[in-house]
Structure 1
């Protein structure tokens, strides 16, 4: 028997479907000649777009000889990267320590520990992700493990330059005119922008950021001191500020009207995509459906 004829789990990361929205676009869709497409990243093995950079960061570090199976890896995470890293660590034989603010959903915590990761919760009222990132750095300096650092690691956007961007280009037959993504570590928007702009400099890149006072899992606007080192402002053409209430309402509508149960950051990206659609005609607008909505059920956002 030839075992190579069967795929391993890491070979199932990426190649996610691109789905056309049928109802939500309404007057800004077909009547204006616009097509709005969601890149279904919840179809990845660990359930989010973060499977791509998690696999990339570990495999590329292995190739360089920076890490080897049996090592302990450390990462500060708001959830999806941690789940993805926990999965890849389990696949490749690493110990994984994840540091996460304590105000994030129970499903995310449970998913990380299910893969065998050690979870350290930090007080959200003492700085949230910034506090978690500082603690990861401190633990590394104490010799407790190796920090992959998704915020500064070029292998994060590299994953999207190699996979997400080419997939979108191929799936739209080069017709994509706008790419819309939530901004967290900024890896997705950086890597995908680099590829799409290489193929067609006229593709517009739109970043969704939280409006003042809004807390949307997966969408961040970082203080200058914590701005991800992989971020390059020249790769984003415009920003859309998303209200938390708008993102949560859109998450419910996306599930109830399109049958796509997705997370709040995906819904925030859709809010931005629909704003763009209201301004243009004959455009192909792709937004990232970052993860699945079942990761947020305990938050109650789907109960209203």
Structure 2
């Protein structure tokens, strides 16, 4: 039977693919010949990829987005010419601004010869630094012991354990002060080395080297005010030093909890426990935020801006909005130090 096309012409017989008529040996020979004459990456002048062409998880820390709030400022603040910018530190690999000092404290200690992979590291933490250090220890090959008060959110404890860290919980009545004391005692007993985020200059140094320059570059040097929650004070100390070197007129504002308020990540330290890295000369103003205002702002950020932020970050946002109500033509940046999913068990967000 002869196949014909729609015009009645005889259709040419369809040839089978070449590999259907060649034997296995012939296919092998053809493959070898094609491979031999095909241009290689080298002949095209293209260097074959090497391991260093790709980022590691450590390389992915930092360079976080700086985004403009669109709805919370409202028409009144927009009419004043104010811009509110949120730096999304929750975009770091372990989910917080603490990724920066965690990896830097370990990296610098290694460079000085103070520690080496396989050693045991100890740290007192309220959560985010512990998570970041647990990740960094996993990357670098260290045993990590973390000490934290028992009343902090379950998500934080579970995350630390997921990274392989060992966790010691202290009575909530002792707060972070007791956790810090225990860490120092364990170091004296020879059980490991304390990195000590509260006194370690490598903490603020990383914000001077990275966070500050990112804020300056992303605002094209237009930043007029910087707001940060104050816990270990590493972020505000390092960023302040950089920004004020660039422009002494930049105002640095710290968010502190009002009397009786408990806001995770924000502390008013007793004099004996004030972080040694803190430089009060670099902070122009302290603004006090209540726990209820911070929690309400966390809910509003999620519902009105689509920004799922932690409670201390919301406290910093609340302070930034207070500033915007009395300023004109200001560019106000604040740190969103972590994400809201670390606080779901606290009841702050709708169930």
**In which range does the TM-score fall when normalised by the shorter chain?**
over 0.9
Q: Distance in 2 between matches of 1:53 and 1:32?
A: 36
1:87 to 129, 135, 140: 135
Q: Distance in 1 between matches of 2:139 and 2:103?
A: 10
Query: What is the TM-score with the length of structure 1 in the denominator?
Result: 0.99
Q: CA deviation at 1:27?
A: 4.0
SS in 2 for 1:100: strand
- Structure-2 residue corresponding to 1:62: 110
Gaps of 5+ in 1: none
Q: Distance in 1 between matches of 2:245 and 2:118?
A: 39
- Structure-2 residue corresponding to 1:120: 168
1:107 to 155, 170, 192: 155
Moved over 3 A (4+): none
Higher Rg of the two aligned structures: 2
Aligned residues: 303
Q: CA deviation at 1:164?
A: 0.2
Alignment of 1:124-273 (within 5 A): 124-125=172-173, 127-273=174-320
Deviations 1:50-87 (A, max 9, x none): 00000110000000000000000000000000000000
Deviations 1:121-157 (A, max 9, x none): 00011x2100000000000000000000000000000
SS in 2 for 1:29: helix
Q: Distance in 1 between matches of 2:211 and 2:69?
A: 19
- Structure-2 residue corresponding to 1:31: 79
2:145 to 75, 87, 97: 97
Please say if residues 29 and 36 of structure 1, whose CA atoms lie closer than 8 Å, have aligned partners that are also in contact: no
The yes-or-no answer on 1:51 pairing with 2:99 is: yes
Q: Distance in 2 between matches of 1:287 and 1:14?
A: 15
Gaps of 5+ in 2: 1-48
Please say if residues 16 and 39 of structure 1, whose CA atoms lie closer than 8 Å, have aligned partners that are also in contact: yes
Q: Distance in 1 between matches of 2:52 and 2:183?
A: 38
SS in 1 for 2:350: coil
The yes-or-no answer on 1:13 pairing with 2:61 is: yes
SS in 1 for 2:67: strand
The yes-or-no answer on 1:286 pairing with 2:333 is: yes
